[in-house]
Amino acid sequence: MSQALVDGVYAKLIADTEAGSVFALTSGRIYNGEPPQDETLPYITFFTVANDPEGAKFGKDNIDSTVQIDAFADKQAGRKVARTIGDTLFADFHRQGLTIAGHGGAQMDCFDRGTVEEDGDANRVITQWRVSATED
């Protein structure tokens, strides 16, 4: 994931700190890649699953990437906490713009909202997003 894409997705995830936001629901525990070892639940991780440099053949650095955003919540708290974070991600970010340095028209589109699954001591929702932007 290019640093501009990481910065853009991270900035979008932490932009709203109001009650009920993704930031508030996770107490700001949002990580690119792996979280710190033994991190307190709930938290979010995100990373690139695939890059399709569609503009490269035209000499541009357009972005067309699949980004996975995972929400983890304490299994003992029940599946509802993880689902609430996943639903909030969708409500707040699906078909929404974001800022990616050096690019315009950046947008996030969710194509898989995921289901709640057990993952060790956590419940996990895996969501898949297409992030696209054109080079300025």
CATH code 3.30.2000.30 for 3-135: yes
pLDDT bucket at 126, cuts 50 / 70 / 90: very high
> Across residues 62-84, what is the average pLDDT?
93
Per-residue 3-state assignment (H helix, E strand, C coil) for the chain: CCHHHHHHHHHHHHCCCCCCCHHHHCCCCEEECCCCCCCCCCEEEEEEEEECCCCHHHCCCCEEEEEEEEEEEEHHHCHHHHHHHHHHHHHHHCCEECCCCCEEEEEEEEEECCCEEEECCEEEEEEEEEEEEEEC
> Across residues 66-75, what is the average pLDDT?
96
Q: pLDDT higher for 52 or 46? A: 46
